[in-house]
Amino acid sequence: MVLKVGGWVVTVPHIQAWLRKATPPDWENRDLMESPEADDVCFALLKWVEEGTSVLKDQCEILCLPSGKQSIVAYIYRHYGDDDPTENSVQFKPVVETLQDKDIKKKLLAESGLNDEDLPWMTILRPSGYKSRADMFEEMER
């Protein structure tokens, strides 16, 4: 069984372009955004969405993961798919992009200056039992 989430995927160069356009010139995390290290750029994105004035604030969760050889992408996921114990990583029904998702994407494209094809919607598979960042932090606080 897999846990499915639906969301957009964005590359590190696109994250940097987005943050250059959306953040103020004196933003405290600008050095992270301009870093050659993908982890730093992803961390800057997390800080912008969580603490800044991004249109994504309180609208999604972001997970940065390796994708392919020596590359990292950010998965901006909006909602979970229905659990189906018969599905696996090879056979599954995709999570559909809703009208609300599309409305948020329009705002995100305006904020970021990216093109529609720079933010493809995809179904992201997470193994059962994998916890969200919010769940992990909540457990740590207990």
Give the C-alpha separation, 16 to 113, whole Å: 11
- Burial class (CB within 10 angstroms; exposed 0-12, middle 13-18, buried 19+) of 90: exposed
What would the two tokens of residue 26 be? 């004196």
By three-state DSSP, how is residue 115 classified? coil
User: What kind and span of H or E run contains 28?
Assistant: none
Domain that residue 77 falls in? 2-141
Q: What is the pLDDT of residues 38-74, one digit of tens each?
A: 889 999 999 999 987 899 998 888 888 777 665 677 8
66 Cβ contact list (under 8 Å, min separation 6): 72
Predicted pLDDT of residue 2: 72
Into how many domains does the chain fold? 1
- Tell me what the mean pLDDT of segment 23-29 comes to: 93
Predicted pLDDT of residue 109: 96
Q: What is the pLDDT of residues 95-130, one digit of tens each?
A: 899 999 999 999 999 999 999 999 999 888 765 445
